[in-house]
Amino acid sequence: MGYEPQADFGTPRIDAAAEVSLTIDGRAITVPEGTSVMRAAALAGGNIPKLCATDSVEAFGSCRMCLVEVEGMRGTPASCTTPVAPGMVVATQTPRLEKLRRGVMELYISDHPLDCLTCSANNDCELQDAAAQVGLRDVRYGYAGANHLAEVKDTSNPYFSFDAAKCIVCSRCVRACDEVQGTLALTISGRGFGSQVSAGQAGDDFLSSDCVSCGACVQACPTDALNEKAVAEIGKPERSVITTCAYCGVGCTFRAEMRGEQLVRMVPWKDGKANRGHSCVKGRFAWGYAQHKDRIRSPMIRESIDQPWREVGWDEALAFTASRLTAIKAKHGPRALGGITSSRCTNEEVFLVQKLIRSGFGSNNVDTCARVCHSPTGYGLKTTFGTSAGTQDFDSVEAADVILVIGANPTDAHPVFASRMKKRIRGKDGQPGAKLIVIDPRRIDLVRSPHIAAAHHLPLQPGTNVAVLTAMAHVIVTEGLADEAFIRERCDWDEYQDWARFVADPRHSPEVLEAVSRVPAAELRAAARLYATGGSGFGAAQGRKPNAAIYYGLGVTEHSQGSSTVMAIANLAMATGNIGRPGVGVNPLRGQNNVQGSCDMGSFPHELSGYRHISGGATRALFEAEWGTALDSEPGLRIPNMFDAALDGSFRALYVQGEDILQSDPDTKHVSAGLAAMELVIVHDLFLNETANYAHVFLPGSTFLEKTGTFTNAERRIQMVRRVMQPANGAGDGIGKEGLEDWQVTQALANALGLGWNYANTAQIMD
């Protein structure tokens, strides 16, 4: 095991159809055209020293350490900025190169602190590595010359510090903030020897700058100049575990870097398919809640909610819970019991909860937070496309020519994905980027922020989503911009014609609807045309159809007419042929880290796993056979209905895992009244939340760091969550002494009810 830094090939991967073969130090290698010599050498197993190159950003060519000799080329070009050429013969280790590299290194160290042994980057510093690699033995300039060692350290940011005395002005941080994150909070101020990394303007420090604490600069920095404060306090990590973030639907893959049982830092994993080595402040730095003193570590029970909590061991808590559940079931029937699954817990855990409710409690009274979030997505996309999920992965945005964002604020809510979207909008190397349309009553950051400007912002009146989309459809149909060939081939032509007739009606024109939407008709027409055609002259200039993609969020779904809006979005995509290839599609930006998975696993009261209706006999039979018990064939209560039913006395017991329904659900008075009316409320969570005020049983949960399982992100990508530390909820002497993952708690509860579950691990649950 041991701690290995992530592999760094120096310059970004190039995807090209053509390949180039060359020889590096006598080894033959073939790489995509456009790959740098540095990257090719790294792929061939070589090791060219580098300080300013890192594969998350474009080559820069400033450190001058990576020089190589190329047969037929004069001098010693930098391998990071030299693309491979067919038949190139490269030497990366020659006496000349060694001399030059040592010369450069000598200059670096003549302006650098010398107390490596007490530095928090000791043994995790690329400058050290390079000095060792080139065999530096002496800094003949001495140490009396001009230097930057008197610089004051900037500790303003709570998570990381910037020590300019250790900065080697490689500009990796500036480039990361520009190219990866897209915030451009950093620059180099001054020039020459006086060049310095500056977080903003003259009076700014990191905290006052535009920095959003995504950590990309810290990750990129080769020295201790930018380093996590945790590393300074705790020490260098010794091992790492790959896992998935639990904050949002992007589902960033992280390396949880540990020192013993202590988490030192979460570093984005470069091979993460959703995040590709980037992160936001939440997953990167805000994991301290896992070890917070307010975590509830042992189960608690009480007879009634006006009594204080009593800490007990797991055995007692589970026995108490099971006996109460059994009693209520006996007296009021199985439909008096129900539960709410978590959109933060793993797929396996969600599966167990709904299985417990269906096969253990005996009802279909199970639901999830998607109810108040993306359930319109589930319904709308199932109806239009047949699957309750989006059509693209995140990579798809790189191929988009037009991006339409409606009811979403990705720079705030899905920052890592937003950075990728912004990168596409900015274009590259003089090539134009994607054009942006924003439909939002608010002037979100995407409308205008450094280097980003929406071609059209439609600031509609709240409540007019459907009207605006219908007006856009009107433009597309009446101006002949629909993709007839696509519709005939891939959609239902008759349905299309009905729809087209409807939207083409004059009462749906932008001019008429402007009265309700308050969106100027000319602007709306222009936006619709842009979405459908890519802009005038697109076909002639590019020789192909434009790729137009729609991204939407809770501004669409957490709304009345949410499902209609989702279907309207899907119709726009279908009518213009924007389905079925990279760069297009309908992309719901799912909020929570596993809301997609939670829905997939059968959290809805009317559907079993895989969105199969509970009334379907064949499906139900499968599960009955699998679970060894009969299942209720009637759809159960949705969350709002659970509270209604609680108030009328027919719903009396609730098992809530990982959701603070009193905080999250609408009509707080209704929720609290419903909770208060229940006989047994079991809250299974990390902290004493709002809902816990009405609970009789508190089962301490485990964070994503303390369990193994899978999350499904907004791309429908299923990713591993791996346990990095022991659950904190070990209590008592019996079961649960060593801490329980949430699925183990659910299983223990099931077994306390006599269900006899014996899953040994979550893989068995998934199987």
Q: How far apart are CA 507 and CA 487, in angstroms?
A: 24
Helix (H) or strand (E) holding 102: helix 95-109
Least Å from the CB of residue 424 to other proteins: 16
Q: Which is nearer to other proteins, 85 or 232 (CB)?
A: 85
* Residue among 676, 750, 84 nearest 359 (CA): 750
Please check whether residue 534 is in contact with residue 437, taking contact to mean a CB–CB distance below 8 angstroms: no
Give the separation between CA 578 and CA 584, rounded to whole angstroms: 5
For the bound state, the minimum distance from the C-beta of residue 61 to other proteins, rounded and expressed in Å, comes to: 3
In the complex with other proteins, the residue whose CB is nearer, 48 or 697, is 48
Q: Which amino acid is present at 93? A: Q
Q: How far is the CB of 185 from other proteins (least distance, A)?
A: 6
Please identify, using beta-carbon distances, which residue of 210 and 644 lies nearer to other proteins: 210
**In the complex, minimum distance from the CB of residue 553 to other proteins, in angstroms, rounded to a whole number:** 24
Nearest distance from C-beta of residue 140 to other proteins, angstroms: 5
CB of 142 to other proteins, least distance (A): 4
* Both structure tokens of 702: 């485990």
CB of 134 to other proteins, least distance (A): 12
CA nearest neighbour of 349 among 589, 594, 590, 591: 594
Query: Which residue number, 78 or 280, has a Cβ lying nearer to other proteins?
Result: 78
Contact between 210 and 237 under an 8 Å Cβ cutoff? The reply is no
What is the closest distance, in whole angstroms, from the C-beta atom of residue 460 to other proteins in the complex? 24
Q: Which is nearer to other proteins, 4 or 429 (CB)?
A: 429
Nearer of residues 140 and 669 to other proteins, judged by Cβ? 140
Q: Give whichever of 453 and 763 is closer to other proteins, judged by the CB atom.
A: 453
Tokens describing residue 340: 């709410």
DSSP 252-276: -EEEEEEETTEEEEEEE-TT-TTTT
The least distance separating other proteins from the CB of residue 409, rounded to whole angstroms, comes to 19
Report the run of H or E that residue 471 belongs to, with start and end. Answer: helix 465-478
Q: Which is nearer to other proteins, 58 or 393 (CB)?
A: 58
Q: Which residue is listed with tokens 């130090």?
A: 25
Smallest distance from other proteins to CB 571, Å: 33
Cβ 199 to other proteins, closest distance in Å? 7
Compute the distance between CA of residue 515 and CA of residue 69 in angstroms, rounded to an integer. 69
Judged by CB, which is closer to other proteins: 201, or 291?
201
Closer residue to other proteins in complex, CB, 27/96 = 96
- As beta bridge partners, residue 227 has 161
CB-wise, 138 or 261, nearer to other proteins? 138
Nearer CB in complex with other proteins: 118/304: 118
Q: For the CB of residue 395, give the shortest distance to other proteins in the complex, in Å.
A: 24
Q: What are phi and psi of 358, to 5 degrees?
A: -75, -45
User: Which H, E and C letters describe 135-184, residue by residue?
Assistant: CCCCCCCCCCCCCCCCCCCECCCCCEEECHHHCCCCCHHHHHHHHHHCCC
Contact 531, 472 (CB under 8 A): yes
Cα–Cα distance measured from residue 515 to residue 521, given in angstroms and rounded to the nearest whole number = 10
Q: How far apart are CA 624 and CA 191, in angstroms?
A: 73
Nearer to other proteins, 146 or 618 (CB): 146
Give whichever of 59 and 231 is closer to other proteins, judged by the CB atom.
Answer: 59
* Smallest distance from other proteins to CB 56, Å: 18
Query: Token pair 């200039």 is at which residue?
Result: 541
3-state secondary structure of 19: strand
The answer to whether the beta carbons of residues 677 and 647 sit under 8 Å apart is yes
Q: Do 339 and 366 meet the contact criterion of CB atoms below 8 Å apart?
A: yes
Exposed/middle/buried for 1, CB within 10 Å: 0-12, 13-18, 19+? exposed
| Radius of gyration over every alpha carbon of the chain, rounded to an integer in angstroms | 29
Distance of CA 762 to the CA centre of its chain: 22
Place of tokens 């007019």: 464
Residues near 718 by beta carbon (within 8 Å), at least 6 away in sequence: 347, 597, 710, 711, 712
Identify the DSSP state of 454: -
What minimum distance in Å lies between the beta carbon of 152 and other proteins?
18
Closer to other proteins by CB, 77 or 235: give it: 77
What H or E segment, with its residue span, contains residue 218? helix 216-220
Helices (H), 505-607: 510-517, 521-533, 538-542, 554-557, 562-575, 595-600
CB of 183 to other proteins, least distance (A): 7
* Least Å from the CB of residue 68 to other proteins: 12
Angle, in degrees to the nearest 10, between helices 465-478 and 521-533: 60
Torsions phi, psi for 406 (to 5 deg): -130, 130
* CB nearer other proteins, residue 90 or residue 570: 90
Dihedral of the alpha carbons of 562, 564, 566, 568, in degrees to the nearest 10: -140
